Structure 1
């Protein structure tokens, strides 16, 4: 993408986020829904396909460009990014990483336009960051596959048109082996979606359980075709690495907003006849958050460049996700502290972001899973002895 094109996109998204979405953040949080006019604008702007190659109708952003976009999206409620995050991220990447050309041609243009919303169906009650306990099964029946099991906390499941379902195709394989991925369209007989989860934060971003009861799909539904059998974990790992870098950038964007809210509050709030910005202990909180934000931003861009160059697609994304998700939690905590009692009241932005930020340390691999990945990459075989 030409630098001027990227600059135009970032500028347009920045204006849209700050002028159209920020003013209705509390409405989104209270109603647990994003207005249809906002969704329509996201589709018009191409946000449903920013990471999908241009040949399939997307914007074709590199991860470095995508990170800069996520900085802008992170300025507001993460529910906005969640609308189209799975199309570009862990769900859409399943097709980009492991799909056949027919599968890419059939689904990616519709994902990029927003005609179709996709979900990533990996997590289960006993299989989250580690898929070794994955219990959903897929067995051959003639030329079809029959799926049984359930998935938990699946983002966009209530509105998904297709779910990328990970299922165990080889029951004799140990751990994360013997897993494959299937395209399961909404409305397929035996596929049901539970009620929306009532979460701590990130209202407007919908998650729900998914149930598969003798769900029958044709052979063409196997991602990657015959070559995709038992390759689901490798596909998931590659998708999640990309997603982790993106989430890290989103955390940086949110941290930037939190710094802004803290600074503006400190500049106008008085205690004892003085602006609290003049209190050195408040200055210390602000300084730590500015430093955290800048460190996270530099780290994410460095990791994204290495990812695009192909020199680090494993450790770097985990480092970025681990640091940035923990970092934004610290920044959110300090923002509430700077606001004092006001920071604990609904309707104040930092209170909402404090709740929203907590999830980043959990999904797409917990902080503890990131620690394991980082350490094993550093230590090699010695870590597995």
Structure 2
């Protein structure tokens, strides 16, 4: 029995959530896992798998039906991220980024017109020509991320349009995206997030360029690239949320990241579970001195720690998702979930390789890929150090001016 199977009933998943979880698990086993290693080696994006996910309604899973989505809750979405990530971290990452960062902020903060124009197509995921229509999110720049004052991308109001110049880095899904919601400086002296505005732009807009895919250590079959804006003209109504949101968009992005951290927690959780399952299977089958190596205390204790820590991380991730579904403050819980699950994933993958020994260090087994993928979870959407900063400030208060 795996950790997931052993503990799922303890979380009181509804029948609907269990059905979504099972559908995702079956899809991942049949379509994602068999291709994961090859796609990693080729650094190839799994277009066909995303088109199948679109048919299943996964690409708008946690967006309400009246907005064009599938109408499931955050926890259901988290369960799908987890199951996909057990098989392939890259697929889990692209999927999580699409919904958490590409679709959700437009649904939450867009004007009624923006929601109607973009959200249904993003949830559908494929246009009439059969092309993917994913969403992407542009906050990080080569020299700025959580530091609003470091934002270099600018948007100047020029009569009936905005003129945008700048660059965004480490963007997920841009080559397969229909839209990008991104930040730009609209006041030359931004302070405490003010002076930063969120905009929505369509891929293919003149002056909007997606550069070549990044060559990464892990998450190699996910799509990551830089965006370049060179005198890109956007209409005045491209401001996410409309005119009242000019100069105050950064806080909206911080709220978006708070939700995205839950999905990165689920991504890390899935990777950890996948590595644990590989190690458990190997410890049962591999024999030394005529005994399964799982009978040796050194191996058995590593597996026990994996199971315990994955279960603890799962509690935090699911708890954060449920807080969000209940409409309660989930920022601290989301940071805790991401931080713990990410570090559990790194430790679990490292120890899984240790259990497998020499073969774990080769590409014959998936765990080396899982280790490379897991590292991203400690970096993306706020590093582990940033999460500790967020948590410490929430429990201590801001002591900088005391």
Question: TM class, shorter-chain normalised?
Answer: over 0.9
Out of 243, 246, 250, the position equivalent to 2:267 is: 250
Between the aligned partners of 2:223 and 2:53, the Cα distance in structure 1 is 17
Closer, same or farther: CA 34–194 of 1 in aligned 2, 3 Å: closer
The residue that corresponds to 1:370 in the other structure is 387
The residue that corresponds to 1:274 in the other structure is 291
Per-residue deviation, residues 295-341 of structure 1 (Å, max 9, x unmatched):
01111122222222233221111111111111111111110110111
Per-residue deviation, residues 177-212 of structure 1 (Å, max 9, x unmatched):
210111111111111111110000111101111111
The residue that corresponds to 2:312 in the other structure is 295
Between the aligned partners of 2:318 and 2:134, the Cα distance in structure 1 is 28
CA drift of 1:35 comes to 4.1
CA drift of 1:383 comes to 5.0
Q: How many pairs does the alignment contain?
A: 384
Deviates more, 1:234-243 or 1:80-89: 80-89
Matched, 1:340 2:357: yes
Out of 352, 356, 375, the position equivalent to 2:373 is: 356
SS of the aligned residue for 1:208 comes to strand
The residue that corresponds to 1:122 in the other structure is 139
Out of 81, 89, 110, the position equivalent to 1:99 is: 110
Between the aligned partners of 2:16 and 2:319, the Cα distance in structure 1 is 21
Closer, same or farther: CA 26–381 of 1 in aligned 2, 3 Å: closer
Q: Is the 8 A contact 1:97 1:239 kept in 2?
A: no
Q: CA RMSD in A?
A: 1.6
CA drift of 1:230 comes to 1.3
Q: Is the 8 A contact 1:332 1:353 kept in 2?
A: yes
Matched, 1:20 2:31: yes
The residue that corresponds to 1:182 in the other structure is 199
Q: Calculate the TM-score normalised by the size of structure 1.
A: 0.96
SS of the aligned residue for 1:165 comes to strand
CA drift of 1:173 comes to 2.5
Closer, same or farther: CA 60–384 of 1 in aligned 2, 3 Å: farther
SS of the aligned residue for 2:169 comes to strand
Matched, 1:40 2:57: no
The residue that corresponds to 2:60 in the other structure is 49
Between the aligned partners of 1:294 and 1:38, the Cα distance in structure 2 is 29
CA drift of 1:84 comes to 3.1
Per-residue deviation, residues 38-62 of structure 1 (Å, max 9, x unmatched):
2221110111111211112212222
Q: Calculate the TM-score normalised by the size of structure 2.
A: 0.92
* Structure 1, gaps ≥5 residues long: none
SS of the aligned residue for 1:240 comes to helix
SS of the aligned residue for 2:257 comes to helix
CA drift of 1:32 comes to 1.6
Q: Residues 163-174 of structure 1 correspond to what in structure 2 (within 5 A)?
A: 163-174=180-191
Per-residue deviation, residues 1-54 of structure 1 (Å, max 9, x unmatched):
x94333322222111101221111111112222444322211101111112111
